[in-house]
Amino acid sequence: MNMAALSEPKLVPLTGTTQFEALPNIANILVTGGAGFIGSWVTRHLVIRYPEKYRVVCFDRMDTAASFNNLMCLSTAPNFDFIHGDITDLERVRYALEFYEIDCVLHFAASSHVQISFSKPFDFTRNNVVGTHIVLEAVRIYGKVGRFIHVSTDEIYGETNGTKTNEAKVDENGNFFPTNPYSASKAAADMYAMAYLRSFRLPIIIVRSNNVYGPCQYPEKIIPTFIKLLMEGKKLPIQGDGSHTRCFLYGSDAADAFDTILHKGNIGEVYNIESDYEVRNSEVAANILSLFGYDPVYDFESHVKWVPDRPFNDMRYNVDGSKLKRLGWMQQVDFSSGLALTVSWYKQNLRWWWKTPSSISTNLACQG
């Protein structure tokens, strides 16, 4: 094993790269779930890229997957605020809207771990369906939001079984066919968002993304979990035969996509965020092993363990993101580069990032 690979320092930027002319009717943006993974990428990006244009307010209940360290670099930013709250608390959401005079909402808050949804499905209904309904109703009552971006998932379309060459991609008009409690809850949330768009004319845009990965992701999803286990000297669990694939999108590309949709997306539209990098779960493991100095072929079997598959595990998702690309967004980070950045960040930060920040310096730049 190459021990140098474990200690090589590398600063990892934690924002995207895009910047647009500020929207004239937007000043105060509420980001639900802004201390979580994707939400914090977008929060950091908006605060740093638009310091004199937008005030960004993070609304988060701070559950296990969230971290104040995701936002610590913004602690002295004059255009950033934080409010602790649960999206299932109508009065708390209404208070945030009114107190901060919110005119734009980015709704990221959700339970998103598919594996947990099989054992705790009602939690996903509460957080993703009821929570979204409450946010929508609070916005309707408030009546002053000019733009509402509802964050969904590609999983609402369900499994696609073909190959890259013989199967048409699913565009934004594709039917809903969720196959697990998580995707079912997100599909239901989408239905509520579409209903409020039509019934109450809420200015809603829906976004359905491929799998996002990168720094600041709590180690419960496949990439940070594999990194954490290797750092602990443990084997990597691969479900089924490892042939299931996911399309992986790096955090900065996701931040740029949401920035693009915020500024250039059309109200009433749905946008898929499509990654060009589709990777088998077994290949994810092999690539991470290589970044830890192991031979991805000869050392593979000794560092993985094969475990039973989920009750149902979608083979792949194949979405068409051409509508978003027509707005000007392009994926910048290839999977190999993004994975190397991610591994580097976790080697430096995993041991302390999800601990309470009380004993941690607040003088952190938005890089690892």
Q: Is 361 helix (H, G, I), strand (E, B) or coil?
A: coil
DSSP-based three-state secondary structure for 150? strand
201: left (phi over 0), alpha (psi -120 to 50) or beta: left
State the chain's maximal CA–CA distance in angstroms. Answer: 61
* Residue linked to tokens 């929060």: 43
- In the block, which residue shows the tokens 């709590």? 218
Q: Torsion angle of alpha carbons 59, 363, 353, 350, nearest 10°?
A: 140
Report how far residue 268's alpha carbon sits from residue 365's, in angstroms, rounded to the nearest whole number.
37
Tell me which residue of 288, 260, 284 sits closest to 272, measured CA to CA.
260
User: What is d(CA 58, CA 54) in angstroms, rounded to the nearest whole number?
Assistant: 13
Positions annotated as catalytic residues are 154-155, 182
Query: What CA–CA distances, in Å, run from 166 to 169, 248, 272, 318?
Result: 10, 20, 20, 11
Cα–Cα distance list, 206 to 172, 262, 347 (Å): 10, 11, 35
Residue written as token pair 């890229």: 49
Tell me the Cα Rg of the chain: 20
Q: Are 207 and 271 spatial neighbours (Cβ–Cβ below 8 Å)?
A: yes
Q: Is the dihedral of CA 28, 32, 36, 39 positive or negative?
A: negative
> Two tokens at 21?
């002319």
